[in-house]
Amino acid sequence: MILKRLALIVFIGSLAFKLDAQIFDKGTFSGSFETNNNLYRTDSVINANAPDDKFGSNTYFKFDYKLGKFSAGIQYEAYMPPLVGYSQFLKGNKIIGRYASYEDSLLTFTVGTFYEQFGNGLILRSYEERALGINNSIDGFSVKLHPIKSATIKAIWGKQRKYLDYGEGTLRGIDAELNLSTLLWKEPSVNIIFGGSWVSKYQEYTGTNNQIPTTVDAYAARLMLEYGSYSLNAEYMTKDKDPMQLNLFSMDKGNALLLQQSIVGRGLGATLSLRRVENADFRSERQAIEASFINYVPALTKQHKYALANLHPYSTQMMGEIGGQLDIFYSVPRKTNITWAKGVKINLNVSSYWKPKGNEYLSISDTLFFRDVGIEIEKKFSYKFKTALSFINQYYNKGAITGGASEVITNIAVLESYLKLRKNIWLKLELSELFPVQNENNWSLALAEVSFAPKWTIFASDMIDHAEQNIHYYNFGFSYTKNASRIGISWGRNREGLQCIGGLCRFVPAYSGFTFSISTVF
């Protein structure tokens, strides 16, 4: 009897192994691995105190398998403990993401964890931004239908990720989009797309305030138009009364408006954006402070690549702001008769945001939150040498944005050059100076980076705060890249401040020490 059972187990195991082997042989695997590690030390010069556990480590592993119309995958994350600046609620490790999906020309459905965005994200955007510790994926199911070629309908249902678990709130949503041009014409000269969305959240309430709703609905409508070199992107979102901790349990309705126009010509491109938001923060839990984002309202300011221009980054004021951005690019034609202008590119960027004026929808008050005016001129002298000169004027109302009473005004000048030393060897030099106008110190930065393409990069930088005594924030290290894998090692100091990406920020305290990272994609 025992021998028969063993024989049956061996037979079933062999059959399963053979079947697995056939399936795996036909499918494709893909994935990624990333680990970022810091060894901290106490550095009294920059007021950096090493935590009790001097090691910090954030690690991510993603694995996907695809066979025909079927795909599945998992994501493992470990924060042991989290890096400085990340929420300590992330501490631990877990397979936090897993999904299975089927896709064909009519229908796509996913069960498990997934990311989704409706329109521009004003009403719903679930995404991952590891640099900020954000992952608001949804655990549930999603369906995407293409009933006709010109139409798409999406539906989602589930709970949002909160740190290494899932929150209390439940999300439901539907989005529909119709391409009117492809519906009416075979070869349309104009592209017109309409869209509409509904998102609802439910969270149980057991308190004594009868005014607190358990369900909050939000609605959005959008229009995209493209004609020749002109394009328009417009979306308006409104949500019902949504009292929560972040808006001090306000019973006001919320809304957000986004208008973007772009035009592109020969050597010229311009984008004009307008945005107004009022009580637009939308979260799946009413008590959430740093998690459970449902929507996303981008900052619409220039994303500076220079460190001194990012000392005071702007974050979207979800309780109320109005403003916009103008971005112009111009490239001088190569056949110009002006010899010195050949190879010149110019970028002008202006952005300003104010507090709205009462109930007057498109009026601004006297409170200016942020203004950034910058011009960058890039000149390519030869295939071996190019340089860029930037000048930036910034106003940052620190009192209105982060508390306190100060208004910071600065002027920043940057000179950046690239020089080809030998075949596949490039030298990058950056010199920056921040000239304080009000409530800021004088800062300087020097950076040198040598790239031995395509594998090695060595860098050294020093950012100096010219306070009563000069404080040096030095960093030096190297990276090695081979195919899709990269190893980076560095040593240095990092200043206290906000780290922002696309209008979302996290506060990072000052820290000092050794950094080691590995990433690969397969």
What is the three-state SS of 54-75? CEEEEEEEEEEEEECCEEEEEE
SS3 state at 132: helix
- Closest CA relative to residue 519, chosen from 480, 486, 489: 486
Residue with tokens 């994303």: 303
pTM of the entire structure?
0.87
Q: Got the DSSP string for 325-357? A: EEEEEEE--TT-S-GGGTTEEEEEEEEEEEEE-
SS3 state at 386: strand
Mean pLDDT of 15-44: 78
- 271: tokens are 């984008």
Q: Quick one: pLDDT at residue 13? A: 42
Q: Quick one: pLDDT at residue 3? A: 41
Q: What is the percentage of the chain residues whose pLDDT exceeds 70?
A: 94
Please provide residue 228's backbone torsions phi and psi, each rounded to the nearest 5 degrees: 60, -125
- Closest CA relative to residue 321, chosen from 248, 400, 398, 251: 400
| Residue 255: its H or E element | strand 254-265
Q: Quick one: pLDDT at residue 358? A: 80
SS3 state at 398: helix
Q: Got the DSSP string for 413-436? A: EEEEEEEEEETTEEEEEEEEEEEE
Amino acid at 301: T
Least confident of 11-25, 41-55, 239-253: 11-25
- Closest CA relative to residue 345, chosen from 359, 369, 329, 362: 329
**Which pLDDT band, with edges at 50, 70 and 90, does 363 fall under?**
confident
Q: Quick one: pLDDT at residue 104? A: 93
**Which pLDDT band, with edges at 50, 70 and 90, does 335 fall under?**
confident
Triad 57, 131, 394: Cα angle to 5° = 135
Mean pLDDT of 460-474: 93
Mean pLDDT of 69-82: 96
Contacts 24+ apart (CB under 8 A), 180-184: 180/150, 182/149, 182/150, 183/148, 183/150, 183/151
Residue with tokens 């009022």: 278
Mean pLDDT of 296-311: 90
pLDDT at 23 over 60: no
Q: Quick one: pLDDT at residue 16? A: 43
**Which pLDDT band, with edges at 50, 70 and 90, does 503 fall under?**
low
Q: Quick one: pLDDT at residue 492? A: 96
Q: What is the mean pLDDT of the chain?
A: 91
How far is 436 from 466, CA to CA, in rounded Å? 11
Q: Quick one: pLDDT at residue 469? A: 85
How far is 444 from 442, CA to CA, in rounded Å? 7
Residue with tokens 């950046």: 416
Burial of 469 (C-beta count, 10 Å sphere; 0-12/13-18/19+): exposed
| Residue 231: its H or E element | strand 230-239
Residue with tokens 């922002």: 500
Asked if 346 and 385 count as a contact pair (C-beta separation under 8 A), the reply is no
How far is 218 from 277, CA to CA, in rounded Å? 14
SS3 state at 490: strand
**Residue 219's CB: how many other CB atoms inside 10 A?**
16
Mean pLDDT of 92-117: 95
- 367: tokens are 């409170």
Q: In whole angstroms, what separates CA 112 from the centre of its chain?
A: 23
268-278 and 320-331 as β-strands: parallel, antiparallel, unpaired? antiparallel
| Sequence-distant (≥ 6) Cβ neighbours of residue 206 within 8 angstroms | none
Cis peptide before 81 (omega within 30 of 0): yes
- Closest CA relative to residue 512, chosen from 46, 19, 33, 167: 46
**Which pLDDT band, with edges at 50, 70 and 90, does 20 fall under?**
low
Q: What is the pLDDT of residues 385-432, one digit of tens each?
A: 999 999 999 999 988 887 766 899 999 999 999 999 998 999 999 999
Q: Provide the 8-state DSSP code for 131.
A: G
128-129 and 124-125 as β-strands: parallel, antiparallel, unpaired? unpaired
How far is 318 from 307, CA to CA, in rounded Å? 25
- 331: tokens are 């490239």
How far is 495 from 184, CA to CA, in rounded Å? 57
- Closest CA relative to residue 316, chosen from 359, 273, 284: 273
Which one has a higher pLDDT value, 26 or 478? 478
Least confident of 1-15, 379-393, 442-456: 1-15
Least confident of 6-10, 190-194, 428-432: 6-10
Q: What is the CA radius of gyration of the chain?
A: 26
How far is CA 28 from each of CA 63, 312, 373, rounded to the nearest angstrom? Answer: 11, 45, 48
pLDDT at 366 over 70: yes
Strand partners, 33: 61, 520
Residue with tokens 């696309």: 502
- 433: tokens are 């100076």
Cis peptide before 213 (omega within 30 of 0): no
Asked if 175 and 119 count as a contact pair (C-beta separation under 8 A), the reply is yes
Mean pLDDT of 247-273: 93
How far is 269 from 347, CA to CA, in rounded Å? 10
Q: What is the pLDDT of residues 287-296, one digit of tens each?
A: 888 888 999 9
pLDDT at 507 over 80: yes
Most confident of the following: 17-21, 60-64, 315-319? 60-64
Q: What is the pLDDT of residues 202-255, one digit of tens each?
A: 999 988 888 899 999 999 999 999 999 999 999 999 999 999 988 889 999 999
